[in-house]
Structures are given as structure tokens and as C-alpha cells.
Amino acid sequence: MVDAALALVDSVVAKYDDELVELRRDLHRHPEVSWQEQRTSERVVEHLQRHGWRISRMPRSGVVADIGESGPTVALRADLDALPVVDLTTDPWASSVPGVAHACGHDVHTSALVGASHALAELHAQGLLRGRVRLLFQPAEEVMPGGARHLINHGAIEGVDRIFALHCDPSVDVGAVGLRSGPITSAADRIDVRLEGSGGHTSRPHLTGDLTFALAKITSELPAVLSRRMDPRAGVSVVWGMLRAGSAANVIPDHGIASGTVRILDAEAWASCEVVVREAVLDIVRPYGVTAHVDYLQGVPPVVNEPTSIAMVAAVADELLGLHHRTEVEQSLGGEDFGWFLEQVPGAMFRLGTRRPGGPTLDLHQGDFEVDEAAIGYGARMLAGVAVKALARG
């Protein structure tokens, strides 16, 4: 029965391949940033309504949909939001919204899950779905602590037994998937260090708090302190994205800020990192006569793939994509709020190959990011297939 269901998944998705590409192009042309994904949500609803899904619109944005009446429940998740990045591509479907682009592939994720919904609805109609499937079209993955908690707080995973998701990977060729058992992403937090001092003339730094020098010490010394205070096996990484202080070369400013991210491979170390960061910042600035205020936002936990779930993904990849179309991938320092779901329910995230064979590796979160659109159909097949496999397991 599982073999028949997977064969039907393949044929149904093939029927919708062109439509899914057009959907992805429409979403790419009209990107919406976190918590503003109303148009994107409505496009999703238009497709789901055609196939009998029971639809719930989430507050602010996002969609949850169910099919099936009883039995075990498997959830599939896709994120909806775009990034505040200028689209540098030249395709006819390039972003029409200034300064906003789908530079992380969420348009692909959404279109793939819509494609999976068509296949799963057909399986349900033919009596081949051995339980219930819930689709989570999630807003706001790109902001901390992420829209996953928003859906959890609104009951989106109540009664769910297992959950799956995918993410575009431009380092893997289209037609293949990247898998890893255990942690596949890192924890990711945000840190803002604000300094205040009396300010003064650069000719007399000894008569004031040299705030600029103290800010520079924080940017270099905090990573060094963490490398000695935290277990080096935890892979703690502090990277600064913004430094701001002063407006003249001969004036020591009275305020400044350093903002960045803290990324941690290990969940246990993640739980203790904030305390160490706060202590270290105060110790670093103490000799310089300035005051430090630390805003530390614990963003997202690591995505930790449960072994049984990722084994299901591997089996489906072998059956739907063919042998030798899956690869082992390394744990990434990227953050993903899918980790919040996996703290509640067992499941797995896999990486969807989007690179054109022989083509360049175009990095995520960059304005020139492009995908081979054949990845949409592969993603749809994989999502529907893992739902079938998980329900068959019971």
C-alpha cells in the first residue's frame, strides 16, 4: 500500500509541476517580510480550498490546514516570509517590492508544500492516507524568536505525532537531498551591547571614558572570553553585524552600540551562554569608565533531527529520487526556528538541493540567490512521501 501511495504522489505532483513553478514565481515577485505575509497566506488558501483541506487562518498571518479524520497525525511545515534584501536577479519574476526578496528560498518551501498538499488530498480521496496530515504555513521564520512559537502557542501542533520540514541548500545539486541525524543547525541568539559614557575630546582620553576604545575591546575580547569560558566542543561563535558610535574624528562619543549574533552548536551550552556573555561584557568594559547595558535575546534552539524520523526521510529519498540521491551534510551554524517544534514533537528537517548541476553555489541571504526550479517538484514529492511513510509506520 505504501508503494502504491508513493507512486501516486509522484504522478500527482508531476501533473502540477508547471502550476507550482508559476506559484513560486508569483510569490517571488511579491515577497513579504516577517509578520506581513497576508498576500502569501491567501495564495496558499486559494490552492488548499480546491482540494478539501480544512483551513484555519492564524492571527496576523500564516495558515494551518488539516485533512483526514482519525489515526496518527503528521505535520509538514513551510515558512512564508522573505528578507529585507535587494533582489539582484534579472529574471522576469524578480521582486517587485523594493528592498525585499526571497533570498532564502521560502517561496520554494511554500510552493513545495502546496504541491505536497495536492498529492495528499488525492491520497485521502482514494483511501490511501492512513491517518491525518496537518500543514503549517508558518510566518516570521527570519526574526527571533520566530513564528514557530506563535503557531505552537495557538495549538498548531496539539495532537501531532511527528513533524517534517525542508530547507533549500544551494550547495546540493537539484534532485538530491542532504540529511543528517542529530543536530543539523545551531542555536542562534541576538546580542546588543550599548555603552554610555561622559564623552570628550580625543586629546584627553584620560579625562573621560574612552567609549570607542571600549566598544572595540568588546568586539574582539568577548569572542576570546567565550572561547575560554565555554566548552570549545560547543562551537560558540560571536559575529558582529553592526557597530555604531560617534560622528566626528576628534570627539569621543558618549554612546555607542555593537550588535551581532551568538551561535552555538550544542543545546546544553546554549542554555548557559547568556549568563557568561553578560558577565564577560561587564568585566571587559570595567577599566574604561563606561557603563554597559546588554540586551540578549535567546533566539532559536538547534534543530535536532530524531533518528527514526530522518531514517524515514532517507527511505523516501531512495524510493522517490533514486539511490545515490541523498548525501550526508554537516551541522550548520545557521539558525532555524523549526527547532522549537522539535522540542515538542519528534521529527526532522532535510535539505533540498537547489543548485543547477555544474552551476555556481549561490549563498542564502544574498540578493543574487537563485534556484533550479525543478527543486520545487522534488520537494513536494519528498514532503508528501515522508507523510505517507510516517503514517504507515503508525
Distances (CA, A) of 330 to 179, 181, 184, 265, 333: 9, 10, 7, 11, 10
Q: Which residues partner with 143 through β-bridges?
A: none
Q: Are 75 and 120 within one domain?
A: yes
106 is in an annotated binding site: yes
226: domain CATH number? 3.30.70.360
Q: Are 166 and 265 within one domain?
A: no
* 327-360 b/e (C-beta count within 10 Å ≥ 16 → b): bebebbbbbbbbbbbbeebbbbbbbbbbbbeeee
Q: Are 224 and 254 within one domain?
A: yes
Residue 277 pLDDT: 98
Domain end position, chosen among 274, 300, 326: 300
Residue 270 pLDDT: 95
Domain end position, chosen among 232, 267, 300: 300
125: domain CATH number? 3.40.630.10
Residues 6+ apart with CB under 8 A from 130: 1, 71, 72, 391, 392, 394
Domain that holds residue 6: 1-185+303-392
104 is in an annotated binding site: yes
Residue 365 pLDDT: 95
For the chain, the domain total comes to: 2
Residue 326 pLDDT: 97
Q: Are 26 and 168 within one domain?
A: yes
Q: Are 179 and 283 within one domain?
A: no
Q: Are 180 and 200 within one domain?
A: no
Q: Are 340 and 255 within one domain?
A: no
pTM check: above 0.85: yes
Q: Are 16 and 74 within one domain?
A: yes
Residue ranges in the chain assigned as alpha helix (H): 2-29, 38-49, 106-125, 147-153, 211-229, 267-285, 307-320, 338-342, 374-393
279 is in an annotated binding site: no
Q: Are 51 and 138 within one domain?
A: yes
Residue 3 pLDDT: 86
124 is in an annotated binding site: no
Residue 393 pLDDT: 87
How do 63-67 and 132-138 pair as beta strands?
Answer: antiparallel
Q: Are 56 and 95 within one domain?
A: yes
Residue 62, sorted as left (phi over 0), alpha (psi -120 to 50) or beta, turns out to be left
Residue 2 pLDDT: 86
Walk along the chain (394 residues) and give the pLDDT tens digit of each residue.
Answer: 788 999 999 999 999 999 999 999 999 999 999 999 999 999 999 999 999 999 999 999 999 999 998 899 999 999 999 999 999 999 999 999 999 999 999 999 999 999 999 999 999 999 999 999 999 999 999 999 899 999 999 999 999 999 999 999 999 999 999 999 999 999 999 999 999 999 999 999 999 999 999 999 999 999 999 999 999 999 999 999 999 999 999 999 999 999 999 999 999 999 999 999 999 999 999 999 999 999 999 999 999 999 999 999 999 999 999 999 999 999 999 999 999 999 999 999 999 999 999 899 989 999 999 999 999 999 999 999 999 999 998 7
Residue 129 pLDDT: 94
The answer to whether the beta carbons of residues 127 and 41 sit under 8 Å apart is no
Give the span between the Cα atoms of 176 and 109, in whole angstroms: 15
Residue 69 pLDDT: 87
Q: Are 129 and 211 within one domain?
A: no
47 is in an annotated binding site: no
Residue 145 pLDDT: 87
Domain end position, chosen among 271, 300, 329: 300
Q: Are 36 and 148 within one domain?
A: yes
